[in-house]
Amino acid sequence: MTKTGATPCDVSLIVNGEPRTVRAYPMERLLDVLRQQLGLTGTKEGCGEGECGACSVIMDGALVDSCLVPVLQAQGSNVVTIEGLGKDVRACALQETFLECGGAQCGICTPGMTLAAVHLLNEKPEPTMDDIRDGLAGNLCRCTGYVQIFEAVAAAARRGVAR
Amino acid sequence: MRSDPAEYDLVAPANLQAAVSLLASEPGRWLPIAGGTDLMVQFAAGTLRARKLISIARLPELRRTEVFAEEIEIGAGCTYTDVRKHDIVDSEFPMLARAASWTGGIANQNRGTLGGNIVNASPAGDSLPALLAYDADLILVSVRGERRVPYASFHTGYKKTKLAADELIRAVRLPRRFGGYFSHARKVGTRNAQAVSKVCIAALARMEDGTVQDARIAFGSIAPMPVRLAETERLLNRKRLDPSLVLLASKTAAAEVQPIDDIRSTARYRAAVAGNLVAEFLERLGETQRAPSEVLARWNGLPADEAENEILACCGSRVWARGMAARRPFLDEAAVLAASDETWRNLGESDWMEAFRSHPRIGESRAAQILSARSAAWSAQEQSNAAAADDAIKIALAEANRKYVRQFGRIFIVCAAGKTGSEILQILRRRLQNDDGAELREAAEQQRQITQIRLRKWLQG
């Protein structure tokens, strides 16, 4: 058992494939540690209460809202942020189709949308429209009206199938 | 205002024993935190009163599920995703699986836990009406040992429970005795995703000789805690299910609930919706009683491969046909039609394509993939109006069809029944303007309609 008190503790985790150790208060949000200590500002803060998905990251294979994760709970975990998707085949296809379909406008929701879409396509490489709606239901976009985003994900899935 | 993390203590014990020891060391001082989908929201808003928290998110003892002959045990630390993906929950406790699927978005489902939903004790908790209807028990653990508490007696008031200051919920137990029951769960909120419910129902009953037996009707968001409607249930039990009983039960339910006005809805609206949800439940329960058609009764009894081959004439996707055969027995036509839509929607693109290939191109008589004489005969009937079109239209159709194939790489699918050649030509020309994604969805919707028509023809012999 690790007793920590309200003093900073060392938290070791793997971020985008690299082992990192940060010193933080145990209740600090994973979101803040990623942005402020590790400089990974691709992860955005929207609502700060798990409603909007702007801060989505993939932790141990599961999509999570990093604003709801106390950093101590990320001890020993494997975290992938938008910066870690550079060479991911699905993320590259999504980047192309988001551009083609007009799936990104102001861009605040885009990193979270991309992670949610990658997570969805990892689980269901050939999603139906209902699967796409379900998979992205936790990510809010105030610009596009969603249709372009859903189409971009569907198009990326088709490209994945073709490959 | 946001809380200062420097003011909060958080520890992560390695096992359940260490966690309950810590809880017992200063009863009431330590607050367990699992996925944080409720507590981290309070933390963000600066309203989290507890200053010392114990992380129970990674305790292996809380994450297990076990299947016994008479009941299943779901660890309190199982996430909504765990619950949603559990085979036995999906087949025997479908209302719980559905509740898990409509809680927040995927990220919340990956973190939020069943135990958290219970101890948070919100009257709007999504999984709670299902737990009440299924007669769940809770296993509570502390350094003093374990005790088993019926979930129905766990909530004692608004956000109040029987959980002692040194206790954790270790697991939820569900009795496996509802296999023969009809179930109906529905959440009414402002929108489908990410909404807190205004009214939420989870209801079970079985039928015996046309009478309702063991009705179990649970609601969320209409009282200070999730409740069952005892009076409405009493009224229904052992009564013949007819329209007058449905009406009476609906009125009784609307009067029995005790909702309030709040930011999400009004008491009046909630009571009316509660009555309607009970009526909807009973109407669907009644539909299960209609005698199946002769065709359906015979098909229900076929070996799986024969059943699959027979229904394949209605829709040429093997995965669809296999899925339908696996979902037998069906009680009536409505159940077959509903299952077909659901199965179709959940297919992958390659399965859709396979179904498309089983149709002849409009204006031709041979499909790319001939499945059965019956399928070919139905195609001829469906396209009979188009076949009667004059030569100019036939030529234009053939040309537009070729263009479609070049553009989309597959044949043009339209529900041709009742449509003339020129109507189809108009539709075809419009759809040539679609992009890939929109066109695929439109074709899939057309195939869905074709399948529905064929299923009805088939079942009516």
The nearest CA of chain A is from the CA of B76 a distance in Å of 17
Query: Using an 8 Å Cβ cutoff, are B437 and A155 in contact?
Result: yes
Residues 332-391 of B with CB under 8 A from A: 345-350
Among B175-179, B356-360, B367-371, top mean pLDDT goes to B175-179
Of A1, A51, A53, the CB nearest to B18: A1
pLDDT at A32 over 50: yes
> Which helix H or strand E contains B266, and what residues bound it?
none
What's residue A161's pLDDT? 67
Query: Using an 8 Å Cβ cutoff, are A139 and B194 in contact?
Result: no
Residues B215 and B269 in one domain: yes
What's residue B57's pLDDT? 95
- CA-to-CA distance for B399 and B395, rounded, in angstroms? 6
**Average pLDDT, stretch B68-75?**
94
Of A116, A139, A158, the CB nearest to B436: A158
The nearest CA of chain A is from the CA of B71 a distance in Å of 29
Of A121, A60, A58, A134, nearest in space to A95 by CA: A121
What is the CATH classification number for the domain harbouring B156?
3.30.465.10
User: A4: pLDDT confidence band, cut at 50, 70 and 90?
Assistant: very low
Residues B451 and B346 in one domain: yes
Site of tokens 């419009």: B430
- CA-to-CA distance for B220 and B224, rounded, in angstroms? 9
State which amino acid sits at residue A21: T
The nearest CA of chain A is from the CA of B33 a distance in Å of 10
The nearest CA of chain B is from the CA of A48 a distance in Å of 7
User: A42: pLDDT confidence band, cut at 50, 70 and 90?
Assistant: very high
Residues B335 and B434 in one domain: yes
Tell me, letter by letter, the H, E, C secondary structure of chain A: CECCCCCCEEEEEEECCEEEEEEECCCCEHHHHHHHHCCCCCCCCCCCCCCCCCCEEEECCEEEEHHHCEHHHHCCCEEECHHHHCCCHHHHHHHHHHHHHCCCCCCCCHHHHHHHHHHHHHHCCCCCHHHHHHHCCCCCCCCCCCHHHHHHHHHHHHHHHHC
Residues 128-167 of B with CB under 8 A from A: none
**If you ran DSSP here, which 8-state letter would residue B181 be given?**
-
Domain count, chain B: 4
Taking the Cβ of residue A96 and every Cβ of chain B, the question of whether any pair is shorter than 8 Å is answered with no
Residues B416 and B448 in one domain: yes
- CA-to-CA distance for B339 and B459, rounded, in angstroms? 14
Q: Enumerate the residues of chain A whose CB falls inside 8 A of the CB of residue B45.
A: 49
**If you ran DSSP here, which 8-state letter would residue B55 be given?**
E
Of A110, A144, A118, A139, nearest in space to A51 by CA: A139
What is the CATH classification number for the domain harbouring B198?
3.30.390.50
Residues B128 and B202 in one domain: no
> Which helix H or strand E contains B206, and what residues bound it?
strand B199-208
What is the CATH classification number for the domain harbouring B16?
3.30.43
User: B161: pLDDT confidence band, cut at 50, 70 and 90?
Assistant: very high
pLDDT at B75 over 90: yes
- CA-to-CA distance for B240 and B204, rounded, in angstroms? 16
- CA-to-CA distance for B54 and B14, rounded, in angstroms? 11
What number is the ipTM of this complex?
0.95
Residue range of the domain that includes B375: 295-459
Residues B354 and B438 in one domain: yes
> Which helix H or strand E contains B331, and what residues bound it?
none
Residues B157 and B214 in one domain: no
User: A163: pLDDT confidence band, cut at 50, 70 and 90?
Assistant: low
Of B402, B397, B403, nearest in space to B385 by CA: B397
Task: For the beta carbon of residue B90, count every other beta carbon within 10 angstroms.
Answer: 15
Q: Enumerate the residues of chain B whose CB falls inside 8 A of the CB of residue A155.
A: 436-437
Which of residues B249, B271, B287 is at a domain's end?
B287
Taking the Cβ of residue A102 and every Cβ of chain B, the question of whether any pair is shorter than 8 Å is answered with no
What's residue B382's pLDDT? 77
Q: Enumerate the residues of chain A whose CB falls inside 8 A of the CB of residue B441.
A: 129
Residues B75 and B125 in one domain: yes
pLDDT at B365 over 80: no
B393 versus A45: which is more confidently predicted? A45
- CA-to-CA distance for B172 and A154, rounded, in angstroms? 38
What pLDDT digit, counting tens, does each position of B322-346 carry?
Answer: 999 999 998 877 789 889 999 998 8
User: B287: pLDDT confidence band, cut at 50, 70 and 90?
Assistant: confident
**If you ran DSSP here, which 8-state letter would residue B221 be given?**
S
Coil, strand or helix at B429: helix
What's residue B292's pLDDT? 66
Which of residues B55, B72, B90 is at a domain's end?
B55
Q: Which of B32-46, B157-171, B390-404 has the lowest mean pLDDT?
A: B390-404
Note the maximum CA span of chain A: 53
Query: Using an 8 Å Cβ cutoff, are B204 and B284 in contact?
Result: no
pLDDT at B377 over 60: yes
Report the mean per-residue pLDDT for chain B.
Answer: 91
What's residue B369's pLDDT? 65
Which of residues B175, B207, B242 is at a domain's end?
B175
Which stretches of B206-293 are DSSP H helices? 230-236, 243-256, 267-287
Note the maximum CA span of chain B: 90
Of B119, B144, B101, B319, nearest in space to B225 by CA: B119
Task: For the beta carbon of residue B342, count every other beta carbon within 10 angstroms.
Answer: 12
CA dihedral B142, B147, B153, B158 (to 10 degrees): 0
List b or e across A73-87, with b for residues whose CB sees 16 or more CB atoms inside 10 angstroms. bbbebbbbbbbbbee
C-beta atoms of B36 and A138 within 8 A: no
Residues B213 and B331 in one domain: no
Taking the Cβ of residue A160 and every Cβ of chain B, the question of whether any pair is shorter than 8 Å is answered with no
Closest CA in chain B for residue A76: B58
Residues B13 and B138 in one domain: no
C-beta atoms of B41 and A50 within 8 A: yes
What pLDDT digit, counting tens, does each position of B245-279 carry?
Answer: 999 999 999 999 999 888 888 999 999 999 999 99
The nearest CA of chain B is from the CA of A125 a distance in Å of 9
Report the mean per-residue pLDDT for chain A.
Answer: 93
Closest CA in chain A for residue B53: A27
What pLDDT digit, counting tens, does each position of B180-207 carry?
Answer: 899 999 999 887 777 788 899 999 999 9
Residues B447 and B301 in one domain: yes
Taking the Cβ of residue A98 and every Cβ of chain B, the question of whether any pair is shorter than 8 Å is answered with no
pTM: 0.74
CA dihedral A147, A148, A151, A157 (to 10 degrees): -130
Query: Using an 8 Å Cβ cutoff, are B201 and B236 in contact?
Result: no
Query: Using an 8 Å Cβ cutoff, are B297 and B337 in contact?
Result: no
What's residue B291's pLDDT? 64
User: B374: pLDDT confidence band, cut at 50, 70 and 90?
Assistant: confident
Cis? peptide before B329, omega within 30° of 0: yes
Query: Using an 8 Å Cβ cutoff, are A138 and B106 in contact?
Result: yes
- Paired with B139 in beta bridges are B148, B171
C-beta atoms of A48 and B2 within 8 A: yes
Of A1, A24, A26, the CB nearest to B13: A1
What's residue A1's pLDDT? 42
- CA-to-CA distance for B426 and B362, rounded, in angstroms? 13
What's residue B39's pLDDT? 96
The nearest CA of chain B is from the CA of A163 a distance in Å of 14
Burial class (CB in 10 A: 0-12, 13-18, 19+), B180: exposed
Tokens in use for B289?
A: 């009683």
Entry field: residues in chain B: 461
- CA-to-CA distance for B94 and B127, rounded, in angstroms? 11
Q: Enumerate the residues of chain B whose CB falls inside 8 A of the CB of residue A56.
A: 107
pLDDT at A3 over 50: no
pLDDT at A2 over 60: no
The nearest CA of chain B is from the CA of A109 a distance in Å of 14
Tokens in use for B87?
A: 């085979």
**Average pLDDT, stretch B75-91?**
93
C-beta atoms of B107 and A116 within 8 A: yes
Give the number of beta-carbon pairs within 8 Å between A and B.
Answer: 141
Residues B69 and B149 in one domain: yes
A57 versus B332: which is more confidently predicted? A57
Query: Using an 8 Å Cβ cutoff, are A23 and A8 in contact?
Result: yes
